[in-house]
Structure 1
Amino acid sequence: MKNEQIVQLAADACDDKRAENIIALEMNGVSLVADYFLICHGSNERQVQAIARGIKDKMEEHDIPVHRLEGFEQARWILVDVGDVVCHVFHKEERSYYNLERLWGDAATYPIEIGQDQ
């Protein structure tokens, strides 16, 4: 499966759990860590965990390995590593504090479709 399809699957999983402000950044040429970052947030710890679990479950449904899931217990910033796609699921307060969109300001926004049946 192409990385663009994985980003869209992850975005769909986030949307299914009512994540807010879902964006994807193209990291090619900006970072060696991943080709894409998907960033979103939830309003409380339980929702943040549900979003991360939703991403993990969606990947497993499509036989896409999740290499790592970090920060699940604290649920302030959960990182879901899907290889060339890294999903950052924040608690609302942490997202504004870390502001990855500004930190990685050189990265182009990748268009994802939210709230539409694929």
Structure 2
Amino acid sequence: MKDIDERISVIVKACDDKNGFDIKVLDLKKLTTFTDYFIIVSGNSTTQTKAISDKIEERMNELGYVISSKEGYGEGRWILLDYGNVVVHIFHRDEREFYNLEKLWTDSEELILDEM
């Protein structure tokens, strides 16, 4: 569990460092088998979403965590970073409102970031 906590903390801190906003961590362990957590963050522009993605990758690489898959970076509207048990969704604010992943996963438990 310590490994997961570290990854979540590193990712959330990287998002915050690049002024990502409305950061949410959803616990999906009881709902799906393909991942344990979604981290969802918004940016105001494609430049910002790419900067958030770059910072997450930089920090995770420094700690030896290898990304399994990366999608959407070219357009920067919805970037997905797959770290296995943790999947990061970096949205342009307009895309986040449209797709509303939080509503799709309403049965998930949201982790309180202050407790991490």
Q: Indicate whether the TM-score tops 0.5.
A: yes
TM-score (norm 1): 0.92
Match of 1:86 in 2: 87
Deviation readout 1:95-114 (Å, 9 max, x if unpaired) = 00000011000000012249
Contiguous gaps of at least 5 residues in structure 1:
none
Runs of 4+ in 1 over 3 A off after TM superposition: none
Report the RMSD for the aligned CA atoms in angstroms: 1.5
Identity, in percent, stands at 35
Which amino acid is 2:46 matched to? E
Which amino acid is 2:30 matched to? G
TM-score (norm 2): 0.94
Alpha-carbon distance in structure 2 between the residues aligned to 1:13 and 1:68: 18
Contiguous gaps of at least 5 residues in structure 2:
none
- Report which of the two has the higher share of helix: 2
Alpha-carbon distance in structure 1 between the residues aligned to 2:77 and 2:29: 27
Alpha-carbon distance in structure 2 between the residues aligned to 1:105 and 1:8: 22
State whether residues 79 and 88 of structure 1, in contact with CA within 8 Å, keep that contact through their aligned partners in structure 2. yes
Q: How many residues align?
A: 115
Q: For 1:65-104, what aligned pairs fall within 5 Å after superposition?
A: 65-104=66-105
